[in-house]
Structure 1
Amino acid sequence: MSLLLDTTGAVDSGLRWTTGFRALGPAFFTDLKPTPLPAPYWVGRSDAVARYASIDADWLPTPGALAVFTGNALLPGMAPLASVYSGHQFGVWAGQLGDGRAILLGQTGGGLEMQLKGAGRTPYSRGGDGRAVLRSSIREFLCSEAMHGLGIPTTRALCVTGSDQGVRREEVETAAVVTRVAPSFIRFGHFEHFAAAERDDELRALADFVIDNFYPACRTTDRFGGNAYAALLEAVSERTAALMAQWQAVGFCHGVMNTDNMSILGLTIDYGPFQFLDGFDPKHVCNHSDTGGRYAYNQQPNVAYWNLFCLGQALFPLIGDQEIAIAALESYKTVFPREFEARMRAKLGFADAADGDRILVEGLLKLLAAERVDWTIFWRRLSHHVADGNPEPVRDLFVDRAGFDAWLRLFSERSAQTPREVTAKSMLATNPKFVLRNHLGQEAIELARQKDFSGVERLLKLLETPFEEHPGFEHQAGFPPDWASSIEISCSS
């Protein structure tokens, strides 16, 4: 039975399709159509992502779009596939993995790949059912757009559709499909797959594809004696370092930083057991499955470097020189601390670096960690203190008032170098009022399970513009309730 959608007389989607990833050839993927779901319904849609992907605004709400983004129909020109990759999971080589429940619909004429997550079993499902459930799909949809709203590189999410078809996890839940959009979903693991099998021709083709489409400057570099593959490794290392600095500064925990979950473009990808910090605990582990704490918040920068080392090993047959490969990775050790310090200065409203800034930041982090002060609320209240001169709301976050007051005096002396209104404006545009806390996502999920999607829509609007005040939504910007600490997020979804 054909899934091709009859578009005769219908509103044009605006989507056009090009070859993209498919040009690499059949060694990289399996042709595969999505598996339909019965009686689909809309859970959430992002108009912003629709504009980003050049989708016609009149077409998106139609039954035809609902069918396409559930996997029940295909538009003319779509050629769906599931890609193969390998990877290290929790530091252990896992061998062949691949798109176990994701199906790439194709690449749009605007150069964006569009992918359905939860669209059914693939040859790479490894015994899984290929489905995603409502709760995890809502979380990915909202967090993708939350990260974009924060200015952090990420895959985007166009929509979520649901179905009452049962999916068994720890208990029976309902199915959902999230449509993801990105320039590319290529991961470190794609390179590891072909390197591990000593398939150097495919490895080179993949690297050339990535360079030509996303890192063309690597072709003409004079770095590493003109070695384009070493230049690629360095460029990916630097993008990844900058991404880690952004994660750390906003208090984001990914939860599953396996090499197959690392984007070759330095994007945040694969939202599973993620979390934004509530109380500041550098050793916080958001993934209930991570019993060893490998992916704790304070370990993320080191794990990223470890993953890049794995990428370097995969690219070594192309780089051909160990010293050059190691040198290509070295920039991470420079870029991450530089970017992190810049992010922290921005959070403090400092336009330029000055002696003593590092001591000021380190002293603050120790104070916050000692009392598990709420990360997001602290920075927002500090921003308002600079704006209105009232220190009491931010002081109220600390039991050790004397310790914080001592730090605040140092901060005030440093920030006095810039007009208060300039510093306040900068801080309020850097420190968000709204982040996707676990309990907020859970509240939206509980409503959605009753077919009430207002919570998803409301959170999406707040998270798209997280630095604005949004009067009347203080609940979404407040402290987490006591029950939030009992939410367990794991690799199961």
Structure 2
Amino acid sequence: MNAPLQAAETGRWTHRFASLGPDFYTELPGTGLPDPHWVATSPDCAALLGWPADWWTRPEMLQAFSGNAPLPGMKPLATVYSGHQFGVWAGQLGDGRALLLGGVDGPNGHFELQLKGAGLTPYSRRGDGRAVLRSSIREFLCSEAMAALGIPTTRALAITGSTTLKVQRERVETGAVVTRVAPSFLRFGHFEHFTHHGMEARTRELFDFFVRHHAPACADAPNPVTAALAQVAAQTAELVAQWQAVGFMHGVMNTDNMSMLGLTIDYGPFGFMDGFDPGHICNHSDHQGRYAFARQPQVAFWNLHALAQALLPLMPGVETDAEAAGDALIESLEIYRERFGTALLGAMRAKLGLSADVDERGEDGPLIDDWLRLLAAHRTDYTIAHRRLSGFDPAQPVEAAANAALRDLFLDRAAFDAWAARYAARLKIEPADALATRAGRMDAVNPAVVLRNHLAETAIQRAEAGDFDEVRRLLAVLRRPFDAPAQASDADFPPDWAQTLEVSCSS
């Protein structure tokens, strides 16, 4: 094994979070998987850490990342946090089935590694501390798929499984462990926990930790608290804009599932849009539709307000004028509205192949809005429609054979033709060089393949039967989402049986 991996195993493990002290976590060994085996590993995530592609071939790695025998320097611990779940204060939560192992420094910076599914912790509440193979495959594949799409996310290094560990969910399933990777797993809920329990000194300690490691520029700002909150708000806005642009639904945007680094975190009942429906609810546990697709931007803003409330005790002058301190925090969140609108418009322009500097009269926004309304009215497949849009020829009549692949997606031909005429007129004012490269630029931002539920389900069913080849094949496809796949069905419409699939908070 080469030197970088050996160093990471022995001398380069650190544990930043452990420096905060026992009020922030509980140190415990966890409970690993009996008779573990590899399900899949991510070469891209390994490369991010600076590890060789064959790191997993060493026997100690299987034991370490199944939760059985930590490597030298690892210090497994579960962190405590609280949060709002479905808009209601839920009290103390914490890592109920996750163990933070520590971090490694590599060529791309510092990354923490966390095991999900390695047994009970003090924060498991009524849970069993385990993860099942089904949900582990979904998280593993989607973490790496989102990274390949260019969307900020926690990563997934590996899945290990066990045929002898049985876990009860809606049915009896086999257990698994996912190794997550991120610069930090800090959540809004970490700050909410200490403020809600009156532990303001600990809130300050955690804030200073966050600024030191993840927002150093804020330390020298006139008000580090508002500066840091504005940074989190801006990163969150850009993240959610990318979700909306690609048709991704998180499914459970509780404050404890919101990353302080603007990462997609905690993959559970997620989904990618098939037929476009702004009101679609991907989480069948979300009975009120709080986290429907179209509501995600506003929910993120609400969650930021909850974070602002948690940071209020840290504001200068809060003892003498709490209202003014609160107003200053809320004002720092306004960057969210600005950044989200700008980021989403930019992403949608790119998806439609439009150059921003040509839109002198501000007509791109209405054109994009009407495109989305057209998709919604027809429940047109979101990914396929955008992919076919790159083949639209503005020099040909709308009804020409060259445009049939796109036009045939819409039953109401007249409605599509009217919008397409506006789109063709808009494309004709693009600079000649931009028009010549339009199709390639659009195909570089409109994926051919996303992790649709039916693709994940097929891989899961085969894995549960002991065949992991489909998980690994699908990972290879999702690593290159903008390329037309060799297996055409990966980029095709979902089969009829996919309509019966449901994902929930147990997924």
Aligned residue number for residue 420 of structure 2: 408
| 2:394/2:425 contact within 8 Å kept | no
Could you list the per-position Cα deviations for residues 44-78 of structure 1 after superposition, in whole angstroms to 9, with x for gaps in the alignment?
Answer: 10011011112243432222211111111111011
Compute the displacement of 1:14 (Å).
Answer: 3.6
CA–CA separation in structure 1 for the residues paired with 2:187 and 2:350 = 30
- The correspondence for 2:406, drawn from 394, 399, 421, is 394
Aligned residue number for residue 343 of structure 2: 339
CA–CA separation in structure 1 for the residues paired with 2:370 and 2:480 = 30
Q: How many residues align?
A: 480
Q: SS of the residue aligned with 1:109?
A: strand
- The correspondence for 1:291, drawn from 287, 293, 298, is 287
1:89 matched to 2:89? The reply is no
Aligned residue number for residue 474 of structure 2: 459
CA–CA separation in structure 2 for the residues paired with 1:387 and 1:421 = 12
CA–CA separation in structure 2 for the residues paired with 1:462 and 1:58 = 20
The residue type paired with residue 212 of structure 1 is R
CA–CA separation in structure 1 for the residues paired with 2:100 and 2:348 = 37
Aligned residue number for residue 177 of structure 1: 177
| 1:80/1:106 contact within 8 Å kept | yes
Could you list the per-position Cα deviations for residues 223-278 of structure 1 after superposition, in whole angstroms to 9, with x for gaps in the alignment?
Answer: xxx11011111110111011110000000000000000000000000000000000
Aligned residue number for residue 448 of structure 1: 463
| 1:12/1:59 contact within 8 Å kept | no
CA distance 1:361–1:78, change in 2 (3 Å): same
Compute the displacement of 1:388 (Å).
Answer: 11
1:479 matched to 2:473? The reply is no
| 2:394/2:427 contact within 8 Å kept | no
Could you list the per-position Cα deviations for residues 408-461 of structure 1 after superposition, in whole angstroms to 9, with x for gaps in the alignment?
Answer: 121112122133331111101010000000000000001101111111111111
Map 1:256-405 onto structure 2 (within 5 A). 256-319=252-315, 320=318, 321-353=325-357, 354=359, 355-386=362-393, 390-405=402-417
1:422 matched to 2:437? The reply is yes
CA distance 1:388–1:382, change in 2 (3 Å): farther
Compute the displacement of 1:386 (Å).
Answer: 4.9
What is the identity percentage for the equivalent residue pairs of Structure 1 and Structure 2? 56
Q: How large is the Cα RMSD of the aligned pairs?
A: 1.6
The residue type paired with residue 133 of structure 2 is L
Could you list the per-position Cα deviations for residues 102-133 of structure 1 after superposition, in whole angstroms to 9, with x for gaps in the alignment?
Answer: 00011112311000000100000002110000
Q: SS of the residue aligned with 1:42?
A: strand
The residue type paired with residue 142 of structure 1 is L
CA–CA separation in structure 2 for the residues paired with 1:81 and 1:317 = 28
The residue type paired with residue 278 of structure 1 is D
Q: SS of the residue aligned with 1:198?
A: coil
Unpaired runs of 5+ residues, structure 1, are: 1-6
TM-score, scaled relative to structure 2: 0.92
Aligned residue number for residue 3 of structure 1: none
Q: SS of the residue aligned with 1:105?
A: strand
Aligned residue number for residue 51 of structure 1: 47
CA–CA separation in structure 2 for the residues paired with 1:73 and 1:34 = 10
CA–CA separation in structure 2 for the residues paired with 1:373 and 1:57 = 40
Compute the displacement of 1:351 (Å).
Answer: 2.5
Q: Which shifted more, 322-331 or 79-88?
A: 322-331
| 2:449/2:490 contact within 8 Å kept | yes
The residue type paired with residue 430 of structure 1 is V
The residue type paired with residue 217 of structure 2 is A
| 1:277/1:375 contact within 8 Å kept | yes
Q: Which shifted more, 16-25 or 425-434?
A: 16-25
Q: SS of the residue aligned with 1:12?
A: helix
Aligned residue number for residue 116 of structure 1: 115
Could you list the per-position Cα deviations for residues 123-145 of structure 1 after superposition, in whole angstroms to 9, with x for gaps in the alignment?
Answer: 00002110000000000000000
| 2:236/2:300 contact within 8 Å kept | yes
Unpaired runs of 5+ residues, structure 2, are: 319-324, 397-401
CA–CA separation in structure 1 for the residues paired with 2:14 and 2:60 = 21
The residue type paired with residue 12 of structure 1 is Q
Could you list the per-position Cα deviations for residues 178-200 of structure 1 after superposition, in whole angstroms to 9, with x for gaps in the alignment?
Answer: 00000000000000000101111
TM-score, scaled relative to structure 1: 0.95
